[in-house]
Structure 1
Amino acid sequence: MNGNGDVISVTVPAEADEDRLDRMLAGLVPQFSRSRLQTLIREGRVTIGGRTIVEPKYRVNVTSGADTEITISVPPPKPATPEPQDIPLDVVYEDDALIVIEKPAGLVVHPGAGTPNGTLVNALLHHCADSLSGIGGVERPGIVHRLDKDTSGLMVVAKTDTAHRSLAEQFADHGRTGVLERGYRALVWGVPPRKYDTIDAAIARSPQNPERMAVRANGRNAITHYEVVQTFSGADGSPVAGLVECRLETGRTHQIRVHLAHIGHPILGDPVYGAGFRSKSRLLTDLQRKSLETLGRQALHAYLLVFAHPVSGETVRFESDFPADIQALLETLTGT
């Protein structure tokens, strides 16, 4: 699509069955979501045989025995509301459809209350300024998953409507029927009793504090699979912490942090869900304690991201090492 918009013409074959206009176009113009097509129809940008149609439910019935031409006038993407900002990005991979970045701790993904700018979206609007074709008619990056402000690691972001729809569907499916995988590594207090286990506990907003999540019977289904990879000893030689790898089967807010705290093994440095374990720092060596204090955030990193490329269909895999701050803590825990 160029800066002046585009005109797309599609042909409905004479043998096509009668159907709603929006549904028919969704099959003929797969680069646009159905909701986007409905908006274009309501805006009077769709014509059938030269006649403007403004009702998405309009029944297209090819009765003349001849092919029918439908024309869509697509306006140029509207400028994004957030301001593009020249914020450094650690780009792992990029092509015309998507970008994979390594999000550092401290970077918020979306502008919002209290964080109107300085976010990942602001950075992407600057970095991808010449390559965004418009998500839902707006010149913006397509965010399909998020990481907490103080969680580091891999994220994929769509640059086109087609890529956004494909990736959104994959993340909504959580790898149940596709190749999607999201892997996280965390340093936790104590050592979970089983090397491999699954945490199946519903999550909802905490009634005491709406900014926190909590395990609640009336919450949304949430499943986390984990493996204990390594254990670490403290000042007296007893196990004090562990390295776990987590895979998500669902994607709830703060899911890993809430689930690990729920089983009694919150993430080291977590100021929200691990605050009750601060007294356990007395079990650490002086060097371990100092390293944890220096970290100043939850020791959680999104190290694995696997998905089907939205254009080629090829399975792509990205892996990431711990950033320097968590790696420093890990080294003091192992005594290296």
Structure 2
Amino acid sequence: MEEKVFYSEENGIRIDVWLSEKIGDLSRSYIQKLLKDKNVLVNGNAVKANYKIAEGDQVTVKIPKEKEPEIVAEDIEIQILYEDEDILVVNKPKGMVVHPAAGNYSGTLVNALMAYCGENLSDINGIMRLGIVHRIDKDTSGILLVAKNNTSHEILTERFKNHDIKRVYETVVHGVLREDFGKIDAPIGRHPVYRKKMAVNTKNGKRAVTHFKVIERFDNATYVKVTLETGRTHQIRVHMSHIGHPVIGDEVYGRKKEKYRIEGQALHAKVLGFVHPLKNKYMEFEAPLPEYFCELLKKIRG
């Protein structure tokens, strides 16, 4: 059982609301279940969900360890851009989830990698995330770097942490960007109300920096090259929405009425550059624009 301890600096907030802010990867309903099962203690005593915290409260949360479901190898075709004994560079299609999670244990990139690589995948993050060093969203296409052993995984994780990986995306956003290029420097954290969403959050967010450059302007849309300086969850989607130019097709951060009907957001991880974890030489790969992206551009231009 995992145990987390927090100390309150606030007063008068319901503990389930307060904890959902502190533990962003747990839903409020799950936190309420923990409270009901007496797995949340305030100053050593179990409390109910309507308890209002006081400054100085010690809050202990006990999270039962869930049994990992069986994840099986599946013969799913994946496009390999590069492979050696330490790493894989793959071009993930739009619509594919990167790794299994609750309610979605098959059809993921990890299931495909298990069939392709056998036991030659890093297991630092457990069977649910074999080989996975970083992620892109289900409806984002493009390049992903996979570790085939724990040594390469540890080195690459450190480089991602230190922002030493070159990551360039291409996207099509609503509206016409006036500037030819620019920088968005705005912290990103959990949305204060909608817990499954991210948002520009100056109070509890982490620093997030996105650079953009206009590739082509249209009457009511802009084709943009985006370079990540940091790598926060949904960073490009949140930042572009924040400046009033949400990604076309984004069902979470985009516009309610979409002129261009596509499945998911028009966002493609096009370029990935890094120093090989063991060969110590710089490598750079490019994933060509997928068909859905080209069709969208054709439709807008037409």
* TM-score normalised by L of structure 2: 0.73
Spell out the pairing of 1:171-320 with structure 2 (5 A cutoff). Answer: 171-175=160-164, 180-218=165-203, 219-232=205-218, 239-276=219-256, 278=257, 281=259, 292-293=260-261, 295-320=262-287
The Cα shift of 1:192 comes to 1.7
Deviation string, structure 1 residues 239-263 (Cα, Å, up to 9, x no partner) = 2101111111111110000000000
Alignment of 1:25-64 (within 5 A): none
2:238 touches 2:253 (CA, 8 Å); kept in 1? yes
Secondary structure (helix, strand or coil) at the match of 1:313 reads coil
Segments of structure 1 that go 5 or more residues without pairing to the other structure are: 1-79, 233-238, 282-291
Determine which structure has more spread, i.e. the larger CA radius of gyration: 1
Q: Which residue type is aligned with residue 265 of structure 1?
A: H
Shift in Å, 1:131: 3.0
The residue aligned with 2:120 is 131
Equivalent in the alignment of 1:20: none
Instruction: Give the aligned residue type for 1:300.
Output: L
How far apart in 2 are the matches of 1:158 and 1:114?
25
- Letter paired with 1:241: A
* CA-based RMSD: 1.9
Q: Deviations over 1:258-283 (max 9, x none)?
A: 0000000001111111134x26x2xx
> 1:305: how far off?
0.2
Residue 88 of structure 2: aligned partner:
99
Cα distance change, pair 147–138 in 1 and its aligned pair in 2 (3 A): closer
- AA aligned opposite 2:199: A
2: CA distance, partners of 1:274 / 1:126: 36
* CA–CA separation in structure 1 for the residues paired with 2:249 and 2:115: 32
**2:202 partner letter:** A
Q: Distance in 1 between matches of 2:80 and 2:97?
A: 16
CA distance in 2, matches of 1:110, 1:81: 13
User: How far apart are 1:82 and its partner, in Å?
Assistant: 2.1
Q: How big is each residue's C-alpha offset from its partner over 1:193-250, in whole Å with a ceiling of 9 and x where there is no partner?
A: 2111100111111122111111111211111010011011xxxxxx210111111111
How far apart in 1 are the matches of 2:130 and 2:105?
Answer: 16
| Contact 2:124–2:130 (CA under 8 A) maintained in structure 1 | no
- The equivalent of 1:334 in structure 2 is 301
Structure 2 residue ranges without an equivalent (≥5):
1-68
| Counterpart position of 1:324 | 291
Aligned length: 233
TM-score, scaled relative to structure 1: 0.66
- Secondary structure in 1 aligned to 2:220? strand
Identical-residue share of aligned pairs (%): 45
Query: Post-superposition shift, 1:143?
Result: 1.2
Quote how far apart the aligned CAs of 1:136 are.
3.6
